Amino acid sequence: MPINILMPALSPTMTEGTLARWLVNEGDTVTSGDILAEIETDKATMEVEAIDEGTVAKILIPGGTEGVAVNQTIAILLEEDEDASAIDAVETAAPAPVAAQPSQEVVATPAAVPLAAPAPAAPAAPVAASGARVFASPLARRMASQENLDLAALQGTGPHGRIVKADIEAALVQGVAKATPSAASTPVSAAQAAAPVASGPNARELADLLGMEYELEPLTSMRRVIANRLTESKQTVPHFYLSVDCEMDKLLAFRKELNASGDVKISVNDFVIRATALALKKVPAANASYSEEGILSYKNADISVAVATPSGLITPIIKAAEGKGLGVISSEMKDLAGRARDGKLKPEEYQGGTFSISNLGMFGIKDFSAIINPPQGCILAVGAGEQRPVVKDGALAIATVMTCTLSVDHRVVDGAVGAEYMAAFKSLIQEPLSMLL
């Protein structure tokens, strides 16, 4: 019988993604291990392998389609000696629900990515006044909810008449399908009810009102996730901040000697990663996260390092950094950063981490405060090293100084623990030879 190729989950939390492009065509014969397509999530692009063999009979979701729900049927594979007429019933069927499907139907899996847990179910599809179900992608449903659009009033242009992102954007431009407020509106959560209400038009509405010229760049999945997570962090995590000034002259001199004698070129950021991890080993209470069940204290220092990419920020992880030397950290960081910018990281290489670093020193930023990356308890913001006047032994002198600011979740790390951690970090930066012990 025909085999459904389903949209795979690239991570336990993924509910939808973009089917970037197909690497096979209808009529092609594939075997187990062949690459079928490329899937984009908010963080990376992954290849999808076939785990069955047969002939690609029908591609249901074209390349470039956004908001494809996890476990939705994206293509149909025919086994040997099966006739194309066998797919007729499948073609007319509704899109597969997001709930997990029987194992024999899951025939596509992302290369080298273990599917450790099923993805959570997407929100229920809306229903028209007539009682008929309105088919819409999860992204389209979310956009419609945010813009107060009535999906039942829209005509979908996606597969099987499904409403997709482009239909929502067209409705917004045309100003149609605005939903009528109703006393029976869906209840909102306590967090939503507590959110501040805008007192005026948003940027796009104001620009339209004033006749201002602009270009609207639609949000990418990555940018939308960043916006949601950072908003949630600032609204729900009680931040406080601790800053120290670290003298770097010894570190810079030591780095110069290392780079002159070895093949691996060590960066200041590599020293910061190493010092961050060793300081967590000295002050393990800072290597923790908050949960409703209790405080999670981590055994290893898995350091998430912020990397800027064309699509937004991503944080590849140096795992168990407390046990790795500067050379290993340098090599791993170069590899992770390069693949992060190319969108080639595996989910396990950027999901997780126990502590984050955001370094803007290379851009000349003197000091700043970063937003905590939940569920982590701390993030260290690193500024530029610059020559400043300092007082030594009662006399004015010049030193290269770097300001570092720790953003702390007060639910899990108290002020005294944060201060102890920053003292340990400063000591390691100012005495870099101690990092080799």
Tokens of 293: 């069940």
**Residues 231, 233: Cα–Cα separation, whole Å:** 5
Amino acid at 269: N
Domain that holds residue 162: 123-182
Nearest of 55, 54, 64, 133 to residue 95 by alpha carbon:
133
Same domain for 359 and 335? Answer: yes
Average pLDDT over residues 375-389: 96
Domain end (from 88, 110, 132)? 110
Same domain for 261 and 293? Answer: yes
Q: 229 lies in a domain?
A: no
Same domain for 106 and 163? Answer: no
Q: 223 lies in a domain?
A: no
Work out the percent of the chain whose per-residue pLDDT is above 70: 79
Residue 56: its pLDDT value, please?
87
In this structure, what are the phi and psi dihedrals at residue 164, rounded to the nearest 5 degrees? -120, 180
Q: 197 lies in a domain?
A: no
Residue 1 CB coordination number (10 Å): 11
Query: The domain that contains 371 carries what CATH number?
Result: 3.30.559.10
The CA-based dihedral angle spanning residues 172, 174, 176, 178, taken in that order and rounded to the nearest 10 degrees: 30
Amino acid at 368: F
Domain end (from 78, 110, 142)? 110
Residue 432: its pLDDT value, please?
96
Maximum C-alpha span of the chain: 90
Query: The domain that contains 44 carries what CATH number?
Result: 2.40.50.100
Same domain for 32 and 140? Answer: no
Same domain for 288 and 425? Answer: yes
Same domain for 298 and 329? Answer: yes
Average pLDDT over residues 266-280: 97
The kind and range of the H/E element at 224 are helix 221-236
**Residues 392, 398: Cα–Cα separation, whole Å:** 9
Work out the percent of the chain whose per-residue pLDDT is above 90: 43
Same domain for 305 and 360? Answer: yes
Same domain for 27 and 148? Answer: no
Q: 224 lies in a domain?
A: no
Tokens of 365: 């930023």
Opening angle at CA 325, ends 321 and 329, nearest 5: 60
What's the DSSP call for residue 180? P
Same domain for 147 and 76? Answer: no
Domain end (from 48, 81, 110)? 110
Q: Is the confidence at residue 154, as pLDDT, over 90?
A: no
Average pLDDT over residues 418-422: 98
Residue 286: its pLDDT value, please?
97
Q: 190 lies in a domain?
A: no
Same domain for 410 and 269? Answer: yes
Residue 309: its pLDDT value, please?
87
Same domain for 260 and 325? Answer: yes
Contacts with 30 (C-beta within 8 Å, 6 or more apart), sequence order: 24, 36, 50, 53, 54, 55, 56, 77
What's the DSSP call for residue 386? E
Q: Count of domains in the chain?
A: 3
Of residues 223, 282, 341, 410, which has the active-site annotation?
410
Q: 163 lies in a domain?
A: yes
Same domain for 172 and 59? Answer: no
Query: The domain that contains 162 carries what CATH number?
Result: 4.10.320.10
Q: Which residues of 120-149 are buried (b: 16+ CB within 10 A; e: fewer)?
A: eebeebbeeeeeeebbbbbbbbbbbeeeeb
CB 388 within 8 A of CB 371: no
Q: 196 lies in a domain?
A: no
Average pLDDT over residues 383-409: 96
Query: What pLDDT, in 10s, does the model give residues 214-247?
Result: 888 888 777 888 888 899 999 999 999 999 999 9
For the chain, helix (H) and strand (E) counts, in that order, are: 10, 19
Query: What pLDDT, in 10s, does the model give residues 306-317?
Result: 999 887 889 999
Q: 192 lies in a domain?
A: no
**Residues 123, 143: Cα–Cα separation, whole Å:** 13
Residue 410 known to be catalytic: yes
